[in-house]
């Protein structure tokens, strides 16, 4: 698996021309930003995976866009094993 194309988010003309063209966007930004700017890049049934975390201000996601474009929003914990152990759930 390899990338055949990449996009620089600060290049506004490229962001506009590539709207609806990507199957996968991996958002690693851990500073304040709006994920909605990346959602518009997704093709039908595309996925935005969020790895970077910040809490203020919260993301604003257009639910109508998610529903009608059949796109997906996913997230994953990243960090060291010790960092992720905090979130481990034990089922007995």
**For residue range 11-46, what is the model confidence (pLDDT) as tens digits?**
999 999 999 999 998 888 878 888 888 899 999 999
Query: Residue 74 in contact with residue 47, Cβ under 8 Å?
Result: yes
**Structural domains in the chain, sorted by start:** 12-85 (3.40.50.720)
For residue 90, the model assigns a pLDDT of 46
| Digit-coded pLDDT (tens) for 35-87 | 888 899 999 999 999 887 766 777 788 888 888 999 998 887 765 556 555 55
Residues 6 or more apart in contact with residue 74 via CB below 8 angstroms = 47, 48, 49, 50
Reported as half-sphere exposure (CB side, CA atoms, 13 A), residue 46 has a value of 18
- Which secondary-structure segment (H or E) carries 48? strand 42-50
CA distance 43 to 76: 21
- Indicate the pTM of the whole model: 0.71
């Amino acid at each position: 698996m390899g990338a055949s194309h990449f996009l620089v988010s600060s290049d506004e003309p490229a962001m506009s021309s590539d709207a609806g063209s990507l199957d996968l966007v991996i958002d690693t930004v851990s500073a304040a930003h709006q994920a909605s700017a990346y959602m518009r890049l997704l093709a039908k049934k595309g996925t935005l995976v969020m790895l970077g975390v910040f809490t203020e201000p919260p993301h604003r996601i257009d639910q109508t866009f998610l529903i009608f474009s059949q796109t997906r929003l996913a997230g994953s914990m990243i960090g060291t094993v010790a960092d992720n152990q905090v979130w481990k759930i034990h089922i007995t």
